[in-house]
Amino acid sequence: MYEINQNIVYPSQGVGTVMEIQEKSFQNKVVKYYKIYIKSTDIVVLVPVDTVDSFGIRPIVSADDARAAVDQISKTVEPVQNDWKARYQENLSLLKSGTIFDIVKIVCSLYNRSKIKDLPTQERKFFDSAKRLLQEEVSVALNIPEEEAVDMIHSQLEALVASSETVKPFLDDGLDDEFADEEEDVFEDDDGEEVDDEDEEE
């Protein structure tokens, strides 16, 4: 059980702080909720105590794990999916698993891909969200300003793309990114809601 003032990670929202534990009546039952403040978006969310694990919520990693995750960035080289929707669903699964090392995989994969070819709009937003989550957690875990965490992560990403082994062949899934903005299929976003990529361009 999380304690008041404890920092946590809410994968689809960001790093948050447990403000209080509330009790509310629901269907003639008293249900306990965590009231969590998400600083980056300035919102408050209520999460049932009994189902908190299903949201992927977890404690902030230790300082040692945060450093290990940052160090892992320049070494995380994997083949890149050519089908952007396959990449998106794969990265969405990683995000829902919630570990900081899975978030590193997402950030590295999409950063590497963006250096090869521009990401579709929805995927760029996903990359920005994953990178922000990583920056926030590293900042809190190491007790450093977020700007310093940003610089640490960026320097490791630059080391990643500078490696001669970084650019891997695409995994041919039969759908190239050039068709991404033309497709009208519906898929899930990182909050589990359906998004029509026909409306990607803003």
The verdict on 169 and 184 lying in the same domain is yes
pLDDT computed for residue 78 by the predictor? 65
pLDDT computed for residue 80 by the predictor? 66
The verdict on 72 and 164 lying in the same domain is yes
In which domain, by residue range, is 185 found?
Answer: 63-192
Q: What is the pLDDT of residues 13-33, one digit of tens each?
A: 899 999 999 998 878 889 999
What sign for the dihedral angle of Cα 65, 158, 79, 116?
positive
- For tokens 């579709």, name the residue: 120
pLDDT computed for residue 83 by the predictor? 78
Q: Shortest CA distance to 89 belongs to which of 195, 182, 169?
A: 195
CATH code, 13: 2.40.10.170
Does 102 fall in a domain? yes
pLDDT computed for residue 163 by the predictor? 67
Contacts of 29 by beta carbon, 8 Å cutoff, 6+ apart = none
As for how many domains the chain has, the answer is: 2
The verdict on 53 and 79 lying in the same domain is no
* 6: number of Cβ within 10 Å: 14
Q: Among the residues of 20-83, which ranges form H helices?
A: 63-73
Does 75 fall in a domain? yes
Does 180 fall in a domain? yes
Q: pLDDT tens digits, the chain, 202 residues: what are they?
A: 899 999 999 987 899 999 999 998 878 889 999 999 998 899 999 999 999 988 889 999 999 999 999 999 988 766 666 777 888 888 888 887 778 999 999 999 889 888 888 888 888 988 999 999 999 999 999 999 999 999 999 999 988 877 644 444 444 444 444 444 444 333 344 444 444 444 444 4
The DSSP code sequence of 52-67 is: GGGGT-EEPPPHHHHH
Does 199 fall in a domain? no
